[in-house]
A and B are shown apart, each in its own frame.
Chain A
Amino acid sequence: MARRFLILVPYLWLLALFLVPFLIVLKISLSDPEISIPPYTPTLDWREGWAGFTDFLSQLDFENFIFLTEDDLYWKAYLSSLQIAGISTVLTLLVGFPIAYGMARAAPDWRPTLLMLVILPFWTSFLIRVYSWIGILANEGYLNQFLLGIGVISDPLTILNTQTAVYIGIVYTYLPFMVLPIYSALEKMDDSLLEAGEDLGCSRLSAFWLITVPLSKAGIIAGCFLVFIPTLGEFVIPSLLGGSETLMIGKVLWEEFFNNRDWPVASAVAVILLLILIIPIILFQRNEQKQREAEGQ
């Protein structure tokens, strides 16, 4: 009895507020737009019973998905989101690995403090961390003032409202997600392996490539997924830092919904975004599972 209650409460909550909403998105993505409230047809009418249901089914179609393939905007947005997410994942890895490596090498007394310093920004508002870059990257911003002041450049650089600003914003906000898994992999590494490698004639660099990198592979993979998956649907960073030049699917979905009020197309955009995400999500889960099994042994 108690066990059933324990299972049912969270189960029903998630069914009602996670799974059912999804089915609704799927349903609306197959409906026609309409100027009314809610702005789509058909609506499923339970009172008409089976006839209402077949009627509802017959009105569903793939028009919105065909529309997505016909308009350049959408597939360009998907491609550019994939590209931006991919490039920024690599950049975050390049910035994050040396930090995680340095932390794992620091004296044991220092490590908790360093760890706290990496986690602290994660607890601060995401919006504010993105916002802080507007003042830095603007044409009359702090970076340009600094560079003009020391005479490196003679004209201000245009960074804000370009893709460069989006990359900076993503690397900055998602850095802890990359550093933490890599650090936890490196911290567990047995240093005598490196000594053995060097005793056997490895140079430091090749010992790094042949020992450190493979041993931190699980952490690197986890970090890359933790950056790639959420950036793909990112909305705040491209909207605040990317300007009109940056096309990302999260922003397109938002505008389709709030500005154009086209719910069926917004839902179709969401469905395709999910289909794209399913592959990396499954790969990520598999990586986590493998790691858990490795730790269990």
Chain B
Amino acid sequence: MRRFSWFNATSLTLGFAFLYLPMLILVIYSFNESRLVTVWAGFSTKWYGELLGNELFLDAAWVTLKVAVISSTIATVLGTMAAYVLVRSGRFSGRTLFSGMIYAPLVMPEVITGLSLLLLFIGIGLDRGVLTIVLAHTTFSMCFVSVVVSSRLISFDRSLEEAALDLGCTPWEAFRLVTLPIIAPAVISGWLLAFTLSLDDLVIASFTAGPSATTLPMRIWSSVRLGVSPEINALSTLLIGIVTLGVISASLVSKRNLMRQQQDEQTAARTA
């Protein structure tokens, strides 16, 4: 029997207050009339208007979205392939180096990743812009995808795949019809993780972007270095809102899928 004490209740309350109060304050003060962010001067939505009329922010948001969609999609394909290799391919020469290259970027300081990629792009004479940011983001997020997908592949029952092969599937058909649907949740969460990492990245993008492309975090960075601003509060509120909606709906969908799966299993058990 677990005992939930006053101590537990207090530490949870304080802990979650610590996690959420700063964001709550940002949201509240984004509706502040005054430009002086720390003084409340009445309710207003004017900063949202200013934000949506600001071409610099809109352009940066568009670049960020483009980079995030492209890089997370490529990273998901490459990361799934890498996970397959890690879990299924057994021994091959260079395997240690391969798994090292998958795990190292997960803990590499961003400043080093950014610096090294920039030096590469300059070394081979590649013009910096959207393309170089996409290459950089794909490289580090494919490693996160492969960790997520390989944890799912490890627990996967291989006999299902073998059954498909015995029944005359080609390996590709077995992958597409049997393996992929089963690992799909992990592939989707890998994509979401890659997408968020790309949206969020300031340091690597700053190194690899060059003067022709600016992402949203870079734009936010250059404006918050000057201090607190109400437009940034409004932008933060929008981003927090989008993420909250996304996470809540994702958890509802996965809960519904889990319930449906349980129902299916019960039906199967009854008919069997």
- Interface residues, chain A, with chain B CB atoms under 8 Å away: 2-3, 6-7, 9-11, 13-15, 17-22, 24-25, 28, 38, 95, 98-99, 101-107, 112, 114, 116-121, 123-129, 131-136, 138, 140-142, 145, 172, 175, 179, 191, 229-230, 232-236, 239-240, 250, 253-254, 257, 263, 266-267, 270, 273-274, 277, 281, 284-285
Contact = CB atoms under 8 A, between A and B. Distances in A.
B119 A135 contact: no
Interface string B215-259: 001001100110110001000100110011011000100000000
Contact of A21 (B9, B120, B221): B120
Contacts of A270: 111-112, 115-116
Contacts of B109: 230, 232-234, 250, 273, 277
B92 A7 contact: yes
A101 B11 contact: yes
Contact of A2 (B12, B98, B171): B171
Contacts of A145: 38
B18 A172 contact: yes
Contacts of B120: 17, 20-21, 24
Contacts of A103: 12
Contact of B84 (A6, A124, A175, A253): A6
Contact of B240 (A105, A128, A240, A257): A128
Nearest to A288: B103
Interface in B107-161: 107, 109-112, 115-117, 119-120, 122-123, 135-136, 138-139, 142, 146
B42 to A, nearest CB: 17
Contacts of B203: 235-236, 254
A232 B81 CA distance: 31
Contact of B251 (A116, A124, A234): A116
Given A17-B117, A98-B15, A285-B103, A125 B200 contact: yes
B198 to A, nearest CB: 12
A270 B78 CA distance: 27
B271 interface: no
Given A135-B29, A142-B38, A172-B22, A18 B247 contact: no
Interface residues of B, number: 80
21 contacts: A6-B81, A7-B85, A11-B85, A21-B119, A24-B123, A95-B18, A98-B8, A102-B9, A105-B5, A117-B16, A117-B19, A124-B240, A126-B200, A129-B23, A131-B224, A131-B232, A134-B228, A250-B109, A267-B115, A273-B111, A274-B112
Nearest to A195: B1
A128 B242 CA distance: 14
Contacts of B82: 10, 14
A240 B115 contact: no
Contacts of B146: 10
B182 interface: no
B65 interface: no
Nearest to A23: B116
Contact of A253 (B115, B227, B239): B115
A140 B38 contact: yes
B25 A25 contact: no
B102 A14 contact: yes
B13 to A, nearest CB: 9
Contact of B111 (A118, A141, A229, A254): A254
Contact of A17 (B85, B107, B135, B232): B135
Interface centre among B82, B84, B119, B221 (most CB of A within 10 A): B119
Interface centre among A9, A105, A119 (most CB of B within 10 A): A105
A127 B221 contact: yes
A250 B110 CA distance: 9
Given A6-B89, A229-B107, A240-B225, A273 B98 contact: no
Contacts of A281: 104, 107
B53 interface: no
Interface in B170-222: 171-172, 196, 199-200, 202-203, 207, 217, 220-221
Given A102-B4, A277-B107, 5 more contacts: A13-B138, A38-B122, A99-B12, A136-B25, A250-B109
Interface centre among B12, B23, B243, B246 (most CB of A within 10 A): B12
